[in-house]
């Protein structure tokens, strides 16, 4: 049995690379957002051409990024959401909550320092861990027989 | 990961051929309505034999065409809806709306001249573009990693 | 038992007034879009202030009109969709299709002259009629005991 | 027709009071989270008694607060989500996204300064506005006939 | 607590009258199909005018009767399906199965003589009984406290 | 694209064999009930041992046959329901209605002589035909490009 | 706003009476299973007459009790499940799990001594408490404003 | 056609091994919980490190075990639930009920001695049998053609 796992969260660090390496022996296909930050912010202009202002640029990009996220999240069996120490990351919370409402199991990764502001999301997640190795342990456990 | 994409819209032009050519490198299977216009209008009589009048002929055909659309749309991961300058195209609007209600991402292609009458549908679509190349850019973006 | 019925369709004529009068003895609450055409087109600027161009004005309005339609349609038990001889009426087709996908019974009213372009939608509707009196007859029949 | 509206967002300011006052003539019942911040944080210990540490205290409280939110959100016809200039507000993003996935129309209120970090959520909301009066205008519009 | 109960089945006998009388003390609103058999068969022509043949007459009527059934069944909390000794009653089986798929509890009433041909439907029903009094006993039991 | 098609209906004739032969060039996997009539009636006793009476025997068999039907119907993309001139065939009507409620397209095959008693089911089916060749034509049409 | 709350669990003690008394000031309608144990076990024979053996008696009763539970649980906004020190209570676990799958918030009441065997259910419940007063506190909190 | 079958129930005996051996010729992939009892109880500490007490240890483990069960159950086509003579097995009842609510067919295996306490669950299961061989017979029957 193969699983399809969506990796939601910041695209400023290379946490997905680390997770994929640690999970390389698992029968899992990983998907996620565009990780090139400039292309992610600029995809609206790339498709529609130059926009009059930064708000229009953002709107054009966010619709295309949402299409990608929504499509890949729906095809996934499980989602992982990663919160780092920085950034507002409201779309990480949005994606994590969407996964929960769709009935997908969710593994939440967040540093202990973010416990308080993430307590409601943590409570609704399937499992909350503090680092990537722990998330891979949980993922691996789904396939283990003994 | 492969995607299944339904192409809703007029069958009077060869826009699907153009789109498929531009997307030929993507791991996508395209489906859509019967593109032979005479067969599409005549499939009711082809199956049931000659009908007493054009209304009966239309009713017989539309049930079979709806069966095809409904089945293929449900199996798709994403839908594209194309509106050209001509024709009433109410079934394009019907298919696009059905896709949205089923939770499928929708790419709407329409000339800028149709902005006003399609503003509500455009607002509910995932992404609205003006030509086929832009639709393929969006589709391609789902698979790109950087 | 009371029913809640959504009236989808053009806001250029007073067909809703005629239907409500003919159905005044039925235990039905009717809802529908904003019928003042100028306010419907202008609600985006009314809320957000003047917009830079007509496309932005349309986008702002259509999101608010879609919110209203979506909310009222979801609360309805049945939808009526009216197509007149004029106008593109793609949002009528969109609303009618949304109602069908939500599992709401749909009564389609359209002049016989529009039979061919509406044949697929007619085939998916619960009942298709040609005038408002017939639609009210169908609605009334739901409540009649003999 | 009456509506039930859930007010998601920070409980540090009195934005709900302002919104309710401005909407006092609408046939709307408003619900929302516990607005007394100390009780919201302390409800876990209020029910279960003193907890060994702040993490246990938070976990106990968040389950009870999530029960309340989940129940009231599901009973609502529409949700409003308010983001202020301060606080992480990840549970506001979580509630807003849950409302969207449940198919509830969502009005997002956020200052223009938060446009960029909220662009994906704004794009998925039904309508985004910048202040409470605008949100009430949109709410009111659902009930207006002309 | 009030319940809404749909009574599916033949309209040739007055079993609904008997059931309603026996259940007159329960807080239940009963709905069902048009019980006047001539009007039920003729409603298509009543609305659309004379039809060219009996098949067209039947098609016109069945769409209107299906609209009524579908609407009332969806609003019900529970369905009762009655099979008598005579008639083909395929639409009774259709309505009973639709109720089951919608997750409505179903009470099946059938004479013991029909046990074999109805064994699959009986097995999927919530409860199968042999007469109307037993069905009312089951219905009553839902409200009893001891 | 392959389709999975469930063949509901009587197991007394070899209509499935005829249909499969006529559709042998289509990329379709067909499923259906146990076609050996004695095993279908006797599967309850085969599993649980001899039963005290024919009603118990029927109940034991019908639960196992329902498990099979329910499982295979849910995995199918489309259902075909066949009514012959004889037999009560209430479980055919039950399976057909279940398929419709699950949102599966349904092709109904019935002789013209059964038009009247099957008019409601026919109206809810996607397409109604009179013989197996016509059903295969409709099935084939889903795959044809011109 | 009124809530409808289903009380799942043993019918051997009067825990429901205690809970209702403690919640008497809340705008809640409580429902639950038949609490008269003899009638609950005997309802099958009450409706169908004497059964040949205790297994048939149980089967007849359980279908009627399941109809009641399923109907009332579906109409509820929230469920409470009570586990006492004795009895197998597998139907309490069944009802609690059904409520969770239906998306109803669940309050689980169980003595601390049952922590280990109920750990998975406790983890899936919205909130777990140890006594009836705590459950009423949680219920009350849903209505409190400060 | 291949099936995916989830095996819910106790992990203290080797009933799964017996079932898999007896079903080795069927095109079925079996999944289930972690069968190593110590790892199942200890997976929380394995991932999160030592916990302060047995309740915390249990909570940590149950979230991870629930993630596994929920994911695998959702991917399955059918579930088997096994109750032995010993143990409380509330999570077996929980998993069985979850499968039923998800619309998965359920085969319940239980010794005759447990008939009374399991009568409600047995009544809601698709098929109830008394031993593993009977369960395999039912499973096999889904694939048999005559």
Task: Please list the residues that pair with G8 across neighbouring strands.
Answer: G81
Where residue D1 falls among pLDDT bands split at 50, 70, 90? Answer: confident
Q: pLDDT tens-digit profile of H85-138?
A: 877 799 999 999 999 999 999 999 999 999 999 999 999 999 999 999 999 999
Examine chains F and A and say if they touch (3+ CB pairs below 8 A): no
Residue G117 has φ and ψ, to the nearest 5°, of -70, -20
Residue of E nearest to G39 (CA): E146
Residues 6+ apart with CB under 8 A from H30: H5, H6, H7, H16, H19, H20, H23
Chain G hits for D43, Cβ within 8 Å? 141
Work out the mean pLDDT of chain D and round it to a whole number: 95
Task: Please list the residues that pair with H107 across neighbouring strands.
Answer: H80, H127
**Cβ-nearest to D105 among C4, C31, C71:** C71
CA distance F45 to chain H (A): 11
Q: Rounded distance, CA B9 to CA B108, Å?
A: 10
CB E88 within 8 A of CB F88: yes
Which of these, F94, F97, F73, F82, lies nearest to F5 by C-alpha position? F73
Task: Please list the residues that pair with B42 across neighbouring strands.
Answer: none
Q: Rounded distance, CA C107 to CA H108, Å?
A: 45
- Tens of pLDDT along chain G (146 residues) come to 899 999 999 988 899 999 999 999 999 999 999 999 999 999 999 999 999 999 999 999 999 999 999 999 999 999 999 999 877 799 999 999 999 999 999 999 999 999 999 999 999 999 999 999 999 999 999 999 87
Which of these, G93, G81, G77, G101, lies nearest to G1 by C-alpha position? G77
Question: What pLDDT, on the 0 to 100 scale, is given for residue B15?
Answer: 96
Chain A 80-139, CB below 8 Å of chain D: which residues? 87-91, 93-98, 100-102, 115-124
CA distance F65 to chain H (A): 9
- Cβ of D138 and C67 within 8 Å? yes
Token pair recorded at residue A33: 């957002």
In the predicted model, what is the mean pLDDT of residues B98-113? 97
Q: pLDDT tens-digit profile of F33-82?
A: 999 999 999 999 999 999 999 999 999 999 999 999 999 999 999 999 99
CB F71 within 8 A of CB H78: yes
Question: What pLDDT, on the 0 to 100 scale, is given for residue B31?
Answer: 97
State yes or no: pLDDT of E88 exceeds 90.
no
Residue B51 has φ and ψ, to the nearest 5°, of -105, 155
CB C81 within 8 A of CB C32: no
Q: Is the dihedral of CA C105, C111, C114, C115 positive or negative?
A: positive
**Cβ-nearest to F64 among H3, H141, H145:** H141
Q: Rounded distance, CA A13 to CA F60, Å?
A: 60
Count of alpha carbons within 13 angstroms of residue G62, beta-carbon side: 19
Question: What pLDDT, on the 0 to 100 scale, is given for residue E146?
Answer: 75
DSSP string of H19-62? HHHHTTTSSEEEE-S---HHHHHHHHHHHH---SSHHHHHHHHH
Work out the mean pLDDT of chain A and round it to a whole number: 95
Count of alpha carbons within 13 angstroms of residue H81, beta-carbon side: 29
CA C82 and chain centroid, separation = 6
Give the SS3 label for residue B14.
coil
Q: What is the dihedral of CA B103, B104, B107, B112, to 10 degrees?
A: -30
State yes or no: pLDDT of B43 exceeds 90.
yes
State yes or no: pLDDT of B85 exceeds 90.
no
Place of tokens 């130059």: A50
Place of tokens 């398929």: F99
CB B28 within 8 A of CB B4: yes
CB D110 within 8 A of CB D132: no
Distances (CA, A) of D75 to B140, C70, D65, G77: 39, 16, 16, 8
State yes or no: pLDDT of A6 exceeds 80.
yes
- Edge-first strand listing for the sheet containing G78-82: G28-31, G3-9, G78-82, G106-109, G127-129
Chain B hits for F3, Cβ within 8 Å? 71
**Cβ-nearest to E35 among C78, C138, C145:** C145
Residues 6+ apart with CB under 8 A from D100: A98, D106, D124, D125
CB D25 within 8 A of CB D52: no
Question: What pLDDT, on the 0 to 100 scale, is given for residue E81?
Answer: 98
Q: Rounded distance, CA H140 to CA C62, Å?
A: 55
Residues 6+ apart with CB under 8 A from C63: B123, C44, D126, D127
Q: Is the dihedral of CA E31, E32, E34, E37 positive or negative?
A: negative
**Cβ-nearest to B90 among C58, C93, C102:** C93
CA F74 and chain centroid, separation = 13
- Cβ of E43 and C134 within 8 Å? no
Residues 6+ apart with CB under 8 A from D96: A94, A97, D8, D79, D81, D106, D108, D121, D125
Task: Please list the residues that pair with A79 across neighbouring strands.
Answer: A6, A106
Q: pLDDT tens-digit profile of A79-137?
A: 999 999 877 799 999 999 999 999 999 999 999 999 999 999 999 999 999 999 999 99
Mutate to test the interface with C, among E7, E71, E99 (most CBs of C within 10 A): E71
What number of other Cβ atoms are within 10 A of residue B54's Cβ?
12
Residue A111 has φ and ψ, to the nearest 5°, of -65, 150
Chain C 29-68, CB below 8 Å of chain E: which residues? none
Work out the mean pLDDT of chain B and round it to a whole number: 95
Q: Rounded distance, CA F96 to CA F109, Å?
A: 11
Residues, chain H:
146
- Edge-first strand listing for the sheet containing F28-31: F28-31, F3-9, F78-82, F106-109, F127-129
State yes or no: pLDDT of D146 exceeds 80.
no
Q: Rounded distance, CA D108 to CA D80, Å?
A: 6
Report how far apart the first and last C-alpha atoms of chain H are (Å, whole number). 16
Question: What pLDDT, on the 0 to 100 scale, is given for residue A13?
Answer: 87
Token pair recorded at residue F119: 């008019």
Which of these, G113, G115, A134, lies nearest to H44 by C-alpha position? A134
Q: Rounded distance, CA F85 to CA F106, Å?
A: 20
CA distance A14 to chain D (A): 20
Count of alpha carbons within 13 angstroms of residue D127, beta-carbon side: 35
Q: What is the per-residue burial (b if ≥16 Cβ within 10 Å, else e) of F52-90?
A: eeeebbbbbbbbbbbbbbbbbbbebbbbbbbbbeeebbb
How large a percentage of chain H has pLDDT more than 70? 100
Q: What ipTM was reported for this prediction?
A: 0.95
Question: What pLDDT, on the 0 to 100 scale, is given for residue A108?
Answer: 98
Q: Domains plus CATH for chain D?
A: 3-34+75-143 (3.40.50.450)
- Cβ of H98 and G96 within 8 Å? no
Residues 6+ apart with CB under 8 A from D42: D57, D61
What number of other Cβ atoms are within 10 A of residue E25's Cβ?
9
State yes or no: pLDDT of D11 exceeds 90.
no
Where residue B146 falls among pLDDT bands split at 50, 70, 90? Answer: confident
Where residue B13 falls among pLDDT bands split at 50, 70, 90? Answer: confident
How large a percentage of chain A has pLDDT more than 70? 100
Give the SS3 label for residue D89.
coil
Residue C2 has φ and ψ, to the nearest 5°, of -100, 150
3-state helix, strand, coil in chain C (%, to 5): 50, 15, 35
Where residue E102 falls among pLDDT bands split at 50, 70, 90? Answer: very high
State yes or no: pLDDT of D87 exceeds 80.
no
More confident residue, H87 or E131: E131
Token pair recorded at residue C99: 């109602």
Count of alpha carbons within 13 angstroms of residue E35, beta-carbon side: 14
**Cβ-nearest to B63 among F127, F144, F145:** F127
3-state helix, strand, coil in chain F (%, to 5): 50, 15, 35
HEC string of D97-130 equals: HHHHHCCCCEEEECCHHHCCCCHHHHHHCCEEEC
What is the gyration radius of the CA atoms in chain C, in angstroms?
Answer: 16
Question: What pLDDT, on the 0 to 100 scale, is given for residue D145?
Answer: 85
Work out the mean pLDDT of chain H and round it to a whole number: 95
CB A107 within 8 A of CB A139: yes
Distances (CA, A) of E50 to C136, E46, E47, E65, G45: 18, 8, 9, 17, 53
């Amino acid at each position: 049995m193969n699983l399809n796992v969506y990796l939601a969260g910041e695209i400023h660090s290379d946490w997905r690379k680390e997770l994929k390496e640690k999970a390389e022996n698992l029968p899992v296909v990983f998907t996620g957002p565009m990780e090139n930050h400039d292309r992610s912010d600029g995809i609206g202009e790339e498709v529609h051409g130059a926009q009059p202002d930064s708000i229009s640029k953002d709107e054009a990009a966010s619709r295309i990024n949402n299409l990608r996220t929504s499509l890949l999240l729906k095809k996934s069996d499980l989602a992982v959401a990663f919160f780092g120490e920085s950034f507002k990351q409201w779309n990480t919370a949005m994606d994590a909550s969407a996964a929960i409402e769709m009935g997908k199991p969710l593994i939440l990764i967040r540093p202990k320092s973010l416990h308080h502001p993430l307590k409601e999301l943590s409570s609704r997640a399937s499992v909350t861990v503090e680092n990537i190795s722990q998330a891979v342990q949980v993922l691996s456990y789904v396939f283990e027989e003994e």
